[in-house]
Structure 1
Amino acid sequence: MSTATMPAVPGAGGAGREPRAVLLVDDHRIFTDVLAFALDAQPDLRCVAVANSARDGLAKAAVYAFDVAIVDLHLPDAGGLAVVEALRAMRPAALLVVLTGHPRADLAAAAHRAGADAFLAKDDALTAVLGVLRGAPPPRRRFDGAAGPQLTPREREVLALLACGADARRIAQELGLSMHTVRDYIKTILAKLGVHTQHAAVAAAVESGLVTTGKRYP
């Protein structure tokens, strides 16, 4: 399966044109430093701002005029797709590119529904981003785990409660499990989703449609 074909990018640089302004939103600082440097080295591109969280990204988007936004799928304080939706509302004509370290077909579909123009794997980032910004289609590649992470019914129950704000103690009470068992489930869920925190797990699960948020626990 391949990524969706990108439309041609109007005004993508060239002689006599102003460089296209790019906003980067990604919490991996070394990655953003390298990508910003590479963008600034191009005659037709200019990195105008770098943000390392969703909140900072939206704040900078309100200050800096941008033609392109490159957004990480997983951010520490919110899902990248929520940022894409907000950026699309702010600048309907902007080119919005989502990057991820774990490309999957379901996430690509969710990104496009949120308003993204392209969904790219981070290991393709520099070459793919430069090509996409100049109107080239994304690289053709197969997605990993197109059906998404395989969670057991109990793991889905635990994840759903996490998404509602329940902590391990509350989950243990709700499901009649020991705290030790719940913590083991949470560790397994994080591993299967390829994340390191419960917040990131919830963001990834909501974005991919594994769970929806419901009742909020104090």
Structure 2
Amino acid sequence: MIRVFIVDDHPIVREGLRSLIQHQPDMTLVGEADDGTKVISSITTLKPDVVVIDLRMPGLDGLGVLRQAQALTPAPSCLVLSSYNEPDYVIAAIEAGARGFLLKQSAYTAILDAIRAIANGEYVISPNLVGVLFTNVAELQRERLRQALADDESALRLLKALADGATTLEIGAMLHMSEVTVKRRIQDLIKLLGVRNRTQLVAEAVRRGWI
């Protein structure tokens, strides 16, 4: 039997989830709360397997509850049920310890399946959020590469030479590269920094304080 605890400040949401869970033969509702500050003491006592939680609440918000819940022994599996689909919210919830993130407009069957899945140690993400997350993760990876570029002496010398008006042939001689390699490296930097041409590339390098 999966022991479920609901945390949401909207009575109609709690009522809907309560009715849904109470009609499942493999689930039991052990408690609910409308304020994040009331949650930790309750789940410490009631020991639910799964906590279904909203992010925006009075008092302690959902992220705060998630972080504190993960410090408990045993820690419950937490499913975020939110109306916010921005990637920052999703990533923050996952980093805080959520095992699942669904949008509130998800079908009841999807919510029940998610509760069962995370109770079984799985991770769940709303299908509507997958594309957004992959796009955001790709951008984070690009930003890490941009940050690493700040320590790439060869790239910084190339950018400085471009800013000084050097030709690709002159840059190649300075960096001991062929002119073809220099041109390819410049195009790679343009793509990485999300600019359109060499002028914008130099301007972006200046903006970041690299040259």
TM-score normalised to the size of structure 1? 0.54
Aligned position for 2:128? 141
- Aligned CA RMSD, in angstroms, stands at 2.4
CA contact (8 A) 1:105 1:143 kept: no
Task: Say which structure, 1 or 2, has more relative contact order (CA 8 Å, 6+ apart).
Answer: 1
Distance in 2 of aligned mates of 1:125 and 1:66: 23
Any unmatched runs of 5+ in structure 1?
Answer: 1-18, 149-218
Count of residue pairs brought into register by the alignment: 130
Report the alpha carbon displacement of residue 91 of structure 1 after superposing the two structures with TM.
Answer: 3.9
Q: State, as a whole percentage, how many aligned pairs show the same letter.
A: 30
What amino acid sits opposite 1:43 in the alignment? P
| 1:110-165 CA distance string (max 9 Å, x none) | 001000001111111632221112227444114798899xxxxxxxxxxxxxxxxx
Q: Are residue 106 (structure 1) and residue 88 (structure 2) matched?
A: yes
Aligned position for 1:53? 35
Distance in 1 of aligned mates of 2:131 and 2:74: 30
Q: Aligned runs of 1:1-218 on 2, under 5 Å?
A: 19-124=1-106, 126-135=108-117, 137-142=124-129
Any unmatched runs of 5+ in structure 2?
Answer: 137-211
Which is helix-richer, 1 or 2? 2
What amino acid sits opposite 1:70 in the alignment? V
TM-score normalised to the size of structure 2? 0.56
Distance in 2 of aligned mates of 1:90 and 1:41: 29
Moved segments of 4+, more than 3 Å: 136-139, 142-148
What amino acid sits opposite 1:87 in the alignment? A
